Amino acid sequence: MISFERFTLSNGLKVIVHEDASTPLACINVLYDVGARDEHPDQTGFAHLFEHLMFGGSINIPNYDTPLQEVGGENNAFTNNDITNYYLSLPAENLETGFWLESDRMLCLAFSEKSLEVQRNVVIEEFKQRYLNQPYGDEWLLLRPLAYKVHPYQWATIGKEISHISDAKMEDVRSFFNRFYTPSNAILVVAGNVNTTHVMQLAEKWFAPIPSASKPLRNLPIEPQQNEARFLSVQRDVPSDAIHKAFHMVSRNSPRYYAQDLLSDMLGRGTSSQLYTSLVKGSELFTEINAFVTGSYDAGLFVVSGKLKDGVSCEQADEAIRQELAKVVNAGIPETELAKVKNKAESTHVFGEMGVLNKAMNLAFAELMGDAGLVNTEIERIRAVTAEDVHNEARILFREENCSTLYYRKNS
């Protein structure tokens, strides 16, 4: 149970406060409701590049990191397809330094040419390090456009190609900031050894003077239902073949989400899961196999992926996965299996609330989905899922015409 208070400033900024006196720390989490899905198809990777620029100095503070480190703080940020999230933690006595820094970069960036030039290079190196210079690094760059034909989830957060990053101009940066980095498009969570009244005063002092702007409207194309099986086969310089099967599933805030999520746990989470037991330990066709959901805010993907044992073909592996999924569709869900993954989901949730920063992030994500209070009812909602619900979802998901299959073969 995470207790919290919630209020909204006159400029539209939502503020959530969670008091936890057991820690000497305080955290500030600022979530901006903008991600790679909000990018123009010819300017992909921009939300993430922008995240880097947020550390290049703001209008009144030339350097973001130095003053924070001076008071014993630490920070980072991440971007995904849905959101851009910034977080810092520091000794609770120095909370106001965090307010000063975060409010100034929400007010206005410095828009330094030097920062843009350098961060373009840094992000290009990140592109190389994580997606190109790694075995299997480009799997998601291939799988996304196969599964999504119209929705912007068809590109990864890093972007479609390096040129989109190297071509980024200062005028694009400015207009991106003006459109998305506004109080009404953000959620501020303050958690830790803090006092709610004090936080309200600090929020009024530092954030309330930031001019309001209307929340940008999001009007994304809806991915049409997939009606035919899709295949892609590529060859790369890797030591063994791999396979991915991606099925269209519901969005993160659908009431059906937990049944689909529990199904993925049952199939492919950990060494007692069905796919691992049957295909890694039993038939020994795979050396590793997983099932997971992307959990995105718009309709997501249910993915089964694995690496094949030497001598096993992608076709054989594909057939073996299809048989395992058919088993679930035909035989239904054993109550014991469902109870097991529900227990796992509950302990994951409880362990996930150990740190004050985790709690702050969970509150912010839940508020974006409509209500920060969702964090306190999640276990109930998971517990309410029945074996029949999960079985129904298996029937809906596991149809070949709902599936994009990627064969990732080694060079022969």
Which 179-208 positions form the footprint of other proteins (CB under 8 A)? 205-206
Dihedral Cα 138, 139, 140, 141, nearest 10 deg = 40
136 touching other proteins, by CB under 8 A:
yes
100 exposure class (CB count in 10 Å sphere: 0-12, 13-18, 19+):
middle
133 touching other proteins, by CB under 8 A:
yes
Task: Characterize the bridge pairing of strands 230-236 and 403-410.
Answer: parallel
Residues 6+ apart with CB under 8 A from 320: 279, 283, 285, 286
Residues 6+ apart with CB under 8 A from 231: 404, 405, 406, 407
Residues 6+ apart with CB under 8 A from 206: 96, 99, 100, 102, 103
Nearer to other proteins, 195 or 214 (CB): 195
Looking from the CA of 110 toward its CB, the CA atoms found within 13 Å total 18
**Pick from 219, 227, 271, 411: which binds other proteins (CB under 8 A)?**
271
336 touching other proteins, by CB under 8 A:
yes
212 touching other proteins, by CB under 8 A:
no
Considering only residues 53 to 82 of the shown chain, the ones binding other proteins according to CB under 8 A are 59-61, 63, 65-67, 69-75
Nearer to other proteins, 154 or 273 (CB): 273
In whole angstroms, how close is the CB of 366 to other proteins at the nearest point?
18
392 touching other proteins, by CB under 8 A:
no
380 touching other proteins, by CB under 8 A:
no
Looking from the CA of 266 toward its CB, the CA atoms found within 13 Å total 25
For residue 75, the surrounding DSSP H or E stretch is: strand 74-79
In whole angstroms, how close is the CB of 150 to other proteins at the nearest point?
31
**276: three-class secondary structure by DSSP:** helix
Which structure tokens are listed for 194? 């803090």
Interface stretch with other proteins, choices 139-147, 169-177, 181-189, 348-356 (CB under 8 A): 348-356
400 touching other proteins, by CB under 8 A:
no
**Pick from 150, 326, 331, 339: which binds other proteins (CB under 8 A)?**
339
292 touching other proteins, by CB under 8 A:
no
Which structure tokens are listed for 77? 């940020």
Cα–Cα distance measured from residue 226 to residue 299, given in angstroms and rounded to the nearest whole number: 12
Residues 6+ apart with CB under 8 A from 187: 13, 14, 16, 30, 31, 33, 364, 367, 368
Phi, psi of 192 (to 5 degrees): 120, -150
280 touching other proteins, by CB under 8 A:
yes
335 touching other proteins, by CB under 8 A:
no
What is the total count of residues that contact other proteins (CB under 8 A)? Answer: 82
356 touching other proteins, by CB under 8 A:
yes
379 touching other proteins, by CB under 8 A:
no
In whole angstroms, how close is the CB of 354 to other proteins at the nearest point?
6
310 touching other proteins, by CB under 8 A:
yes
**Pick from 10, 132, 214, 335: which binds other proteins (CB under 8 A)?**
132
Nearer to other proteins, 301 or 390 (CB): 390
**What single letter denotes the amino acid at residue 376?**
N
Cα–Cα distance measured from residue 128 to residue 77, given in angstroms and rounded to the nearest whole number: 20
Nearer to other proteins, 125 or 167 (CB): 125
381 touching other proteins, by CB under 8 A:
no
**Pick from 227, 237, 370, 380: which binds other proteins (CB under 8 A)?**
237
* CB contact at 8 A, 120 and 164: no
In whole angstroms, how close is the CB of 86 to other proteins at the nearest point?
13
277 touching other proteins, by CB under 8 A:
yes
> How many C-beta atoms surround the C-beta of residue 350 within 10 A?
10
**Pick from 5, 11, 94, 111: which binds other proteins (CB under 8 A)?**
94
**What single letter denotes the amino acid at residue 372?**
A
Nearer to other proteins, 218 or 281 (CB): 281
In whole angstroms, how close is the CB of 312 to other proteins at the nearest point?
11
In whole angstroms, how close is the CB of 342 to other proteins at the nearest point?
8
